[in-house]
């Protein structure tokens, strides 16, 4: 499979070693500031995977300005990243994470895969996206590009969203089928995959008395993929992950059955990230308004849709009351 980006016009080309950035337009940052943000991320990933710097191209396209609302996105293309953004974008943590995530895709899934061709690989998105996110966050912290406090906040946000997601109990097959139809379904492989990665990382460390963790397994996946003589001989992501875990003495197929196939809820042990803070799992009541908020607003704040079994009714609220 070949993926590429072609752009033309008055582009400026920035270079740092094997990294090239092609961009146009004016931004809230200088060309130099952009290079200074991007180059360490590339270097950190290459160091982790034990690779020499290879050619990498980032194209940056400005899209129409949206006041007070910076929008950015892009697609990872193996050895390139096609990026677009409104010109009011800042070089903040969202930018860094977005870029680092796409760059991590060079390896996960491209160099530890391939993804299963079935359903465009969506049923392996827990690994291709969720594991990509875990290693993205981990390396940004480890190599000094993101403060730990900020990352804790981000992880808390992911766990909170996961716990309250209407898609949290959707099995992997359902997620694959509904991916393009429902936003919660689309985000679930990222959230679930990151938690599965964290869970397995912890389990490997415990079971091996600290000798192995998920990093060893990812590097073993790379070795297995590299050793195959043709692309057709390479095991697809999930099979490769199971084989790589076996190479460090771990059988993870039952964990994948539980969390990936059956969508069992994932609870992480409280000491998983010690010596950082302890992780707390709490029960929080789910918020339920008990009447239709949006429809009530559209109705001139005259209440509609009170659920007779809900808390608003019990508190005395009735259809037709004025808010």
Using CB under 5 A, list all residues that contact Zn ion. 129
Q: Are strands 56-62 and 72-76 parallel, antiparallel or unpaired?
A: unpaired
For residue 37 the two structure tokens come to 């943000």
Q: How far is the CB of 51 from Zn ion (least distance, A)?
A: 19
- Please classify residue 106 by burial: count the beta carbons closer than 10 Å to its beta carbon, then call 0-12 exposed, 13-18 middle and 19+ buried: buried
Q: Give the nearer residue to Zn ion in terms of CB position, either 127 or 306.
A: 127
Question: Whole-number minimum distance, CB 233 to Zn ion, in Å?
Answer: 26
Residue whose CB is less far from Zn ion, 130 or 290: 130
Please state whether beta strands 56-62 and 19-23 pair in parallel, antiparallel, or not at all (unpaired): parallel
Q: Find the shortest distance in angstroms from Cβ 12 to Zn ion.
A: 27
Beta bridge partners of 96: none
Q: Which residues contact 298 (CB under 8 A, 6 or more apart)?
A: none
- Cα separation, 209 vs 167, in Å, equals 35
Distance separating alpha carbons of residues 161 and 54, to the nearest angstrom: 36
Please state the closest distance from residue 101 (CB atom) to Zn ion, in A. Answer: 5
Cα 5–chain centre separation: 22
Cα distances from 66 to residues 72, 179, 199, in angstroms, run: 11, 27, 39
Shortest Cβ distance from residue 75 to Zn ion (Å)?
9
CB of 104 to Zn ion, least distance (A): 8
Query: CB atoms < 10 A from the CB of 286, how many?
Result: 7
Nearer to Zn ion (CB atom), residue 135 or residue 212: 135
CB of 109 to Zn ion, least distance (A): 9
And the tokens for 148?
């730990």
Cβ-based nearer residue to Zn ion, 179 or 212: 179
3-class DSSP state for residue 255? Answer: helix
d(CA 259, CA 261): 6
| Nearest CB to Zn ion, comparing residues 172 and 296 | 172
Least distance between Zn ion and beta carbon 162 (Å): 17
Closest residue to Zn ion: CB criterion: 129
Closest to Zn ion by CB, 82 or 279: 82
Bridge partners, residue 16, by sequence: 19
Q: Where are the alpha helices (DSSP H) in 27-147?
A: 31-49, 93-104, 125, 132-142
Burial class (CB in 10 A: 0-12, 13-18, 19+), 195: buried
Looking at beta carbons only, is 129 or 216 nearer to Zn ion? 129
Give the nearer residue to Zn ion in terms of CB position, either 38 or 279: 38
CB count within 10 Å of CB 276 equals: 12
* Closest CB to Zn ion among residues 124, 129: 129
Minimum separation from the CB atom of position 88 to Zn ion (A): 24
């Amino acid at each position: 499979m070949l993926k590429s980006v072609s752009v033309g016009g008055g582009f400026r080309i920035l270079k740092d070693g094997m990294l090239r950035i092609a961009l146009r337009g004016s931004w809230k940052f200088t060309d130099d500031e952009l290079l200074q943000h991007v180059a360490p991320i590339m270097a950190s990933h290459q160091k982790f995977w034990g690779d020499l710097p290879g050619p990498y191209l980032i194209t940056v396209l400005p899209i129409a300005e949206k006041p007070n609302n910076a929008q950015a996105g892009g697609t990872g293309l193996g050895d390139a990243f096609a990026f677009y953004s409104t010109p009011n974008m800042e070089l903040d943590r969202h930018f860094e994470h977005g870029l680092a995530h796409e760059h991590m895709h060079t390896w996960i899934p491209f160099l530890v895969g391939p993804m299963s061709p079935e359903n465009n690989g969506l049923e392996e998105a827990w690994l291709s996206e969720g594991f990509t996110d875990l290693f993205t966050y981990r390396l940004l912290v480890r190599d000094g590009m993101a403060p730990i406090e900020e990352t804790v906040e981000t992880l808390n946000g992911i766990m909170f969203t996961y716990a309250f997601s209407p898609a949290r109990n959707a099995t992997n097959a359902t997620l694959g089928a509904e991916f393009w139809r429902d936003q919660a379904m689309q985000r679930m492989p990222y959230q679930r995959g990151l938690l599965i990665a964290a869970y397995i990382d912890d389990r490997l460390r415990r079971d091996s008395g600290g000798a192995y963790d998920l990093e060893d397994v990812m590097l073993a996946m790379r070795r297995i993929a590299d050793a195959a003589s043709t692309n057709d001989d390479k095991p697809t992501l999930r099979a490769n992950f199971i084989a790589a875990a076996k190479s460090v003495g771990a059988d993870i197929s039952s964990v994948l059955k539980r969390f990936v196939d059956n969508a069992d809820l994932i609870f992480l042990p409280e000491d998983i990230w010690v010596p950082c803070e302890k992780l707390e799992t709490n029960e929080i009541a789910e918020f339920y308004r008990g009447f239709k908020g949006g429809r009530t607003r559209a109705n001139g704040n005259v209440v509609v849709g009170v659920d007779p079994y809900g808390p608003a009714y019990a508190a005395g609220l009735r259809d037709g009351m004025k808010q």
